Structure 1
């Protein structure tokens, strides 16, 4: 298992300050992942304001996802032995600057540049944060620390977009970006006060990345991330038309329902995190089968308002367990190489977001929203077969 940093002492106790530091990392994760997906609910207003189509405005989501997928595996190599605390602070500061640039962008090309910078922040912060959170607690608390750290990502995936959309609707889309920059400043202050120095235990070498991918257990975890996140995003990107066209839910009800989805996702993170700490294989299989069943049933049982709402809540509960379960698998698979293994997994997570949304759009345009739900179900079911073929470390 991971060798926890022994600044916490030999005792099996953790000071409140250390737990607050883990929470600060979680809020940092929330802020960078929210930054990635913030434009989703603002595409129409941004497109109108800057004179571009909604399809072109969608580059604001695709660009940071692709950049993050490249940054995640490369940044741990480039930073060498730099103190990880300083790197995290620099990455959050970059996210703040990028969102200020988005707020002030006079045209769409400048806005895309700001989104490129956001991608660097996302990939770097997430790839480091997942491994560093566990260094601040003894081994027995690692599953709990991982759950808290990834609770921020889960909350961002499902709460960040509705919150940003609400702020943009009540004020202006630029204010949504500025508000996120303000949250980033608060995270910087918290990390300065709470996070201890985190020197690199060993610099990550470029060769460590393909070495980890040759590890069959790590490779299976990365593949599971791609299948689960890609399948989810292919369908979830179009959750608004799905709820309206399949379930007959009014447009104004979509935002509040997404908040309920998010609350269910947070619950799912903690429930699955507790299971993953003991039986990680069971946790991933349970989550993947649940997602496959929900997405496959949605066109059939989600054809009413009540059916659609019920399935949406269960969908949130199931997806909430994805980040923490696959990351726990990765940490168990590579106890002596957490940074390169986590970087590979983070790269796949962000690539799956970008490609899942892109492929989902093609399926919706060429076939139907029902087809994209069944596609997501098939990818989720395939995850179970992948996990069953590999024994966890």
Structure 2
């Protein structure tokens, strides 16, 4: 996630170093998001029966290569190539990580496992982006990306050592074969959830991609103060991630709608009172708290809507999510180039309100009928299912 999001923290010096505008530099997030959106939904089918541990390890190597190329970029062309490569690695990670997490934990801990995994998003904000911003300020933005490349290589080795073999998951006992073949978008709660996520994530990234210029121009903050505020954003995001995971396991729809209200309010506060440093700080903290919980709450919404097809629903969800990242970064850059920061904030707030309306009037995934053999956490590990059958209970 830090590989994807680091341009947010080093946007201004990165644009200066590449001799391009900040708006154009921000498009680099769009490139990564768009590629990830294409790759993530097809990953479960494309890798077939391959060991998921090997696939995730290979994805880390791809991320290392992409970050290394970014450090070599001296213009927009090579930057585009490097961000495409990062998008390929991100697609594999996003498409499989949550599904893998549920297989590594007992079924009763599946929601916590997803929260821990998606906590990597918040951890990128808490540690990755602020640390990358500090490294970029001290040693140059290229050093920040070089550090990520080295970290990805170390993580690839760690995955091989730490994870067990993870072949393609088998369908749960008693699962409906017809349901497994039915297009997921025909499930109403799935389609409504995806539309909500697209609007809300687009709104978030349209504004958040340019949070550094917002704080520089409207609030007059120094680079050090901005790095500190991004750390605050990440800390609140980490809190939001685990709080939303616990709540969404029981009431996914109410949790996502509450997060939509928080994101909308934060952006509106920044648009109205962003010139006041204290209010800007509160807005960014609220923003982190709300957006930090969105990934896990949205994932649980999707899982509850199609628990019998966890890898495929994860890939579809990630595709929509990352496409919205690309759309948001592109939309934000377009508005910044054509108008200014303030119209960008109001446009993002409007999209967030639309997302809230979609979720409010759509169906509740918790009320969708589940077929026999389904489970909220998706397919059980084969050992767990066998143990339950041996005990004479229903899997």
TM bracket (short chain): 0.7 to 0.9
For residue 200 of structure 1, report the CA deviation from its aligned partner: 0.7
CA contact (8 A) 1:96 1:182 kept: yes
The farther-off stretch of 187-196 and 316-325 is 187-196
In structure 2, distance between residues paired with 1:58 and 1:294: 21
* Paired position in structure 2 for 1:358: 330
* Paired position in structure 1 for 2:257: 285
2:95 is matched with which residue: 127, 135, 141? 127
Mapped pair 1:115 → 2:83: yes
In structure 2, distance between residues paired with 1:381 and 1:60: 26
In structure 1, distance between residues paired with 2:28 and 2:336: 20
2:247 is matched with which residue: 275, 285, 296? 275
* Paired position in structure 2 for 1:329: 301
In structure 1, distance between residues paired with 2:69 and 2:125: 23
* Paired position in structure 2 for 1:88: 56
For residue 224 of structure 1, report the CA deviation from its aligned partner: 2.0
* Paired position in structure 1 for 2:377: none
CA contact (8 A) 2:237 2:293 kept: yes
- Aligned in 2, Cα 1:113/1:332: closer, same or farther, shift over 3 Å? same
For residue 81 of structure 1, report the CA deviation from its aligned partner: 1.5
* Paired position in structure 2 for 1:154: 122
In structure 2, distance between residues paired with 1:44 and 1:240: 8
CA contact (8 A) 1:73 1:209 kept: no
* Paired position in structure 1 for 2:144: 176
Mapped pair 1:258 → 2:230: yes
Task: Show the 5 A alignment for 1:2-151.
Answer: 33-105=1-73, 108-151=76-119
TM-score (norm. length: structure 2): 0.83
In structure 2, distance between residues paired with 1:292 and 1:176: 31
For residue 390 of structure 1, report the CA deviation from its aligned partner: 1.0
CA contact (8 A) 2:11 2:26 kept: yes
In structure 2, distance between residues paired with 1:383 and 1:167: 36
For residue 367 of structure 1, report the CA deviation from its aligned partner: 3.8
Q: Give unpaired runs (5+ residues) of structure 2.
A: 172-178, 367-395
In structure 1, distance between residues paired with 2:197 and 2:57: 27
TM-score (norm. length: structure 1): 0.84
The farther-off stretch of 50-59 and 316-325 is 50-59
- Aligned in 2, Cα 1:230/1:77: closer, same or farther, shift over 3 Å? same
- Aligned in 2, Cα 1:386/1:337: closer, same or farther, shift over 3 Å? same
Corresponding pairs, count: 358
CA contact (8 A) 2:52 2:166 kept: yes
Q: How big is each residue's C-alpha offset from its partner over 1:176-226, in whole Å with a ceiling of 9 and x where there is no partner?
A: 1221122112222221122111111259xxx97981122211112222221
CA contact (8 A) 1:131 1:338 kept: yes
- Aligned in 2, Cα 1:44/1:284: closer, same or farther, shift over 3 Å? closer
- Aligned in 2, Cα 1:379/1:200: closer, same or farther, shift over 3 Å? same
* Paired position in structure 2 for 1:315: 287
For residue 250 of structure 1, report the CA deviation from its aligned partner: 4.1
- Aligned in 2, Cα 1:180/1:222: closer, same or farther, shift over 3 Å? same
For residue 320 of structure 1, report the CA deviation from its aligned partner: 0.7
In structure 2, distance between residues paired with 1:110 and 1:202: 41
* Paired position in structure 1 for 2:381: none
In structure 2, distance between residues paired with 1:370 and 1:98: 33
For residue 99 of structure 1, report the CA deviation from its aligned partner: 2.1
Mapped pair 1:198 → 2:166: yes
Task: Show the 5 A alignment for 1:332-343.
Answer: 332-343=304-315
CA contact (8 A) 1:59 1:112 kept: no
CA contact (8 A) 2:125 2:231 kept: no
- Aligned in 2, Cα 1:367/1:102: closer, same or farther, shift over 3 Å? closer
CA contact (8 A) 1:81 1:202 kept: no
- Aligned in 2, Cα 1:107/1:282: closer, same or farther, shift over 3 Å? closer
* Paired position in structure 2 for 1:384: 356
In structure 1, distance between residues paired with 2:298 and 2:349: 18
The farther-off stretch of 301-310 and 135-144 is 301-310
For residue 51 of structure 1, report the CA deviation from its aligned partner: 4.8
In structure 1, distance between residues paired with 2:252 and 2:313: 17
In structure 2, distance between residues paired with 1:372 and 1:50: 24
